[in-house]
Structure 1
Amino acid sequence: MTEPALDTGPPVDTTDAEALRDRALTTLTTARERTTLLTSCVEEPDLTAQHSPLMSPLVWDLAHIGNQEEQWLLRAVAGQEAIRPEIDSLYDAFEHPRSERPTLPLLPPAEARLYAADVRGRVMDVLERAAFHGTRLTEAGFAFGMIAQHEQQHDETMLITHQLRKGPQALTAPDPEPAPLFTGPAEVLVPGGPFTMGTSSEPWALDNERPAHRREVPPFYIDTTPVTNGAYQAFIEDGGYDDERWWTAAGWAHIRQHSIQAPLYWRRDGKQWLRRRFGVTEVVPPDEPVLHVCWYEADAYARWAGRRLPTEAEWEKAARYDPAGDRSTRYPWGDADPAPEHANLGQRHLRPAPAGSYPKGESPLGVRQLIGDVWEWTASDFLPYPGFQAFPYKEYSEVFFGSDHKVLRGGAFAVDAVACRGTFRNWDYPIRRQIFSGFRTARSGAV
């Protein structure tokens, strides 16, 4: 194998280097274990089939994960020759839209697995010798963190595909711990004033999270927990989907055109609502955060409730601002990495936890479940921060900036901790419902 052409420069402390190596190894291994689970729990026909034109075949995601890892860690970081340059274009997400990918000469499952395993074996050799200094790609192990996040993001995408897939249950996981009915305050006042939004110091933060900057936010109230299924059913029963008053013009046109009357996967059975969840049909649990609603639905509910969606800056201030120290923390609970008692992350469960769960994960202001459970729609378009610089490629964020995409925050049960921070930004079209999306509402507060 070609010797890795790792960067030279001032060495980092040996202890720090070993800690970075261990972190990179752990996150890459965790991601690969999840990828293996998601691609081994069904037979080959389900791997090669396209279960929705919105999604790739699972086997495409598998080889794409290996190809991105090869391009960034073996070629860009280690300077190695391409293993299979002829497949680069097949797994270029911008060259082929998802709807066309089943027509491509993709690697069959067995070959895709061998390719991804070959890449990973070589990456382990590179990681063992990495110096973690010299360029922005290698500084603090950024490239390894970027690839771990990339794989986990595709694992989330594959989990979405599993939810879309018809047929018997293929995945299982224990339910979240039962929680007593939340009886705390319905909303929390977030004080007005400036706070630090974004980050310039989180070593594995992606380009759209940078740089840190001061943002002035007037006082506002925000829901203590995400909006629940029970609350959303009240909107449905009150004729929310049939009343044009609550909808933007684009939202009204969209739900009329597609005959949308409830969240995705819901259906009425007499007086109760049922939903399909990973191959199982069940009664919609009233105390869970509502899931699989698009931005238009979230916005309409908020209007119906006499409220609004929070802006992205409001959401982040609610999630990160600690008034005691007048500072922004990494997560709502502080600076410690997520632990199971803080949030529902990492596909540990296959559903959101009841609203009000995880009291140890609440923010200093008392807001709960800001991380994990469901992605939360915000009112904001996906735009760059002041001083934004694309890195390491424009196609990660820059090409998506604009009014076409709305920002989601917080992560869902399908998101791994490595790809979820108080500064992490997700985005999608306002019509998207197959994603694990919910929301909470806000209202402006008195000065």
Structure 2
Amino acid sequence: MKEQIAAQLLAVRDRSLSYTDADDHLLVRQHSPLMSPLVWDLAHVGNYEELWVLREVGGITPLRPEIDDIYDAFKTPRRDRPSLPMLGPAEARKYIEGVRGRVLDVLDKVDFDDPNPLKSGGFVFGLVIQHEHQHDETMLATLQLSREPGLVSDGDLPAGRPVAGEVFVPGGPFTMGTDVNPWAYDNERPAHTVDVAAFWIDRVPVSNGDYLAFVEDGGYRDPRWWHPEGFRLGLQAPLFWTRDDGGSWWRTRFGRAELIPPNEPVQHVSWYEADAYARWAGKRLPTEAEWEKACAWDPAAGHARRYPWGEEPPAPGLTNLGHRAARPAPVGAYPAGASAYGVEQMIGDVWEWTSSTFQPYPGFRAFPYREYSEVFFGPDYRVLRGGSWAADPAAVRATFRNWDYPQRRQIFAGFRCARDASPGEAR
């Protein structure tokens, strides 16, 4: 297990360094007030490792205590971070390298059978690995906002296939959340029973072509479909979409303009846009519980799966994760990754908005710190599920919960729709 953790630490650091292999002026610039400068993210992941692995578990004297406030995500909002005395790119790389060497020393000595919950099962290492992968996805969002070409690698994906329609999910109880995944976050715990009424859910995420029909039908101009706060934003199309004089729609993807591919899942849409589309289509967004049941519950076995397809780790034939390409795969590309109910592409490609606000599960206990989940609970945030193409397999599972403000569009988010079953269908 220690060898596997060491390999994951190496892999995530290689990823972080690849996203910051750019000219210094691009790393220190703020490309959007929604995001930190890339060099802040780079040093932050090292400071986080120092705090949790070196100080909390290793008992090591702080290396750079004077920078703790600079890299505390709760001390300074993102929009204000350029004014901080951040480490420069070269100094940040040197700092995180020094931290990482000591982290590997702690890994070599730690006892995973220790009752300390940070040590047990290697939790603290899962914490920092997932945290860095999440910041790597944030870096990709920043690079997309920079509109600078040539900074992000692309790749090949499987072809899609014609697939449409809905999947019926019978009503009844299922187990939501987890008690058994050693690296699960506090907001995924504890496992608990939820009784969900019968519903229908889209087999695949809403595609660009589907969404374009809403745009062309004047959906953005019709307040009937919109939450009032969303309509007041005055949006006209998904972020990074533009229409040329000939009526063709284009998107800017990592600094390059390209015609919008109709068969990819739509991304860079806010919760308000997803909710408006669903209303226009005569449907709604799924609740978080509906989403997890459709994704993870195996009715024949009577238990939840770790992934839609089962316990097998994510692989290229099952899902689009880990930045195999810098875009979602076409709809219908992963039939082998379907859930027990036959719902496809629930893990990878795009984060999926749900109708639910971010709330604690019954019996929730904050661990290892309140600021990971507890301070965000309430009506201000909407839950996203499933992970995007930019998320790493180490940080994605059927129980994983993401959340953001409903107006956010820079994240790699899309959605699928659901609807209630009729009384006759529910029987």
TM-score range, shorter chain: over 0.9
- Structure 2 contact 130–395 (Cα < 8 Å) conserved: yes
SS of the residue corresponding to residue 148 of structure 1 reads: helix
The answer on whether the counterparts of 1:146 and 1:204 sit within 8 Å (CA) in structure 2 is yes
Q: Once the two structures are superposed, what CA deviation does each residue of 1:165-203 show, in whole Å capped at 9, x if it has no partner?
A: 033221122131223x323x5110011100000001100
Q: Find out whether 1:139 has 2:114 as its counterpart.
A: no
Please state whether the residue corresponding to 2:103 is helix, strand or coil: helix
Structure 2: how far apart are the matches of 1:26 and 1:340? Answer: 19
Q: CA deviation at 1:228?
A: 0.2
2:189 aligned residue: 210
**363, 370, 373: which is aligned to 1:397?**
373
Question: Runs of 4+ in structure 1 displaced over 6 angstroms?
Answer: none
Secondary structure of residue in 2 paired with 1:169: coil
CA distance in 2, matches of 1:216, 1:22: 41
CA distance in 1 between partners of 2:150 and 2:252 (Å): 10
Distance 1:342 1:88 in 2: 40
Q: Which amino acid aligns with 1:316?
A: E
- Which position in structure 2 is the counterpart of 1:234? 213
Measure the CA separation in 2 of the matches of 1:334 and 1:130. Answer: 31
The whole-number CA distance in structure 1 between the counterparts of 2:417 and 2:7 is: 36
Q: What is the deviation of 1:376?
A: 0.1
Q: Structure 1 residue 330 and structure 2 residue 309: aligned?
A: no
- Percent of aligned pairs with the same amino acid: 59
Aligned to 1:407: 383
Supply the distance in 2 between the matched residues of 1:197 and 1:285 (Cα, whole angstroms): 35
Query: Corresponding residue for 2:73?
Result: 93
Q: Classify the secondary structure of the residue corresponding to 2:20.
A: helix
d(CA) in 2 for partners of 1:400, 1:265 = 28
Q: Which residue of 1 aligns with 2:398?
A: 422
Distance 2:260 2:147 in 1: 19
Answer yes or no: is 1:251 the counterpart of 2:230: yes
**Please, which moves more after superposition, 146-155 or 26-35?**
26-35
Matches within 5 A, 1:328-407: 328-407=304-383
**Per-residue Cα deviation, 1:382-406 (whole angstroms, up to 9, x for no partner):** 0000000000000000000000000
Matches of 2:121 and 2:201, distance apart in 1: 36
Q: Partner of 1:208: helix, strand, or coil?
A: helix
Corresponding letter in the other structure for 2:396: C
Task: Confirm whether residue 51 of structure 1 aligns to residue 31 of structure 2.
Answer: yes
Partners of 2:173 and 2:147 in 1: CA distance: 48
The residue correspondences of 1:295-334 to structure 2 (distance < 5 A) are 295-334=271-310
Q: Counterpart of 1:83?
A: 63
Amino acid at match of 2:247: K
2:147 and 2:252 in contact (8 A); partners too: no
Cα offset for 1:336? 1.7
Q: Work out whether residues 270 and 413 of structure 2, in 8 Å CA contact, stay in contact via their aligned partners in 1.
A: yes
Distance in 2 separating the partners of 1:95 and 1:384: 24
Pairing partner for 2:243 from 250, 263, 268? 268
| Cα shift at 1:436 | 0.3
| Offset at residue 130 of structure 1 (A) | 1.6
Q: Which residue of 2 aligns with 1:32?
A: 13
**Structure 1 segment 6-45 matched on structure 2, within 5 A:** 20-40=1-21, 42-45=22-25
The TM-score, its normalising length taken from structure 2, stands at 0.97
SS at match of 1:90: coil
Q: What amino acid is the match of 1:357?
A: A
Partner of 1:194: 173
Structure-1 separation of matches of 2:37 and 2:358:
27
Residue 167 of structure 1 aligns with which residue? 148
**Equivalent residue number for residue 14 of structure 1:** none
Cα deviation, 1:345-383, whole Å, max 9, x if unaligned, reads 011110000011111111011100000000000000000
SS at match of 1:345: coil
Paired residues of 1:175 and 1:351 also in contact (CA < 8 A): no
Distance in 2 (CA, whole Å) between partners of 1:210 and 1:74 is 26
Identify the residue that residue 440 of structure 1 maps to in structure 2: 416
Alignment of 1:292 onto 2:268:
yes
Give the residue type in structure 1 aligned to 2:242.
R
Please list the CA deviations of residues 32-56 of structure 1 after superposition, one character each: whole Å capped at 9, or x if unmatched.
010010011x201000000001000
State the Cα distance separating 1:22 from its structure 2 match: 2.2
For structure 2, the 5+ residue unaligned runs are: none
Equivalents in 1 of 2:166, 2:260: separation in Å?
24
Q: Using the alignment, how far apart are the partners of 2:220 and 2:118 within structure 1?
A: 48
Gap runs ≥5 in structure 1: 1-19
1:305-364 CA distance string (max 9 Å, x none): 000000000000000011111211111000122112111001111000001111111101
The answer to whether the Cα contact below 8 Å between 1:27 and 1:145 also exists between their aligned partners in 2 is no
Q: Which letter does structure 2 place at the counterpart of 1:437?
A: A
Displacement of 1:129: 1.5
Amino acid at match of 1:30: A
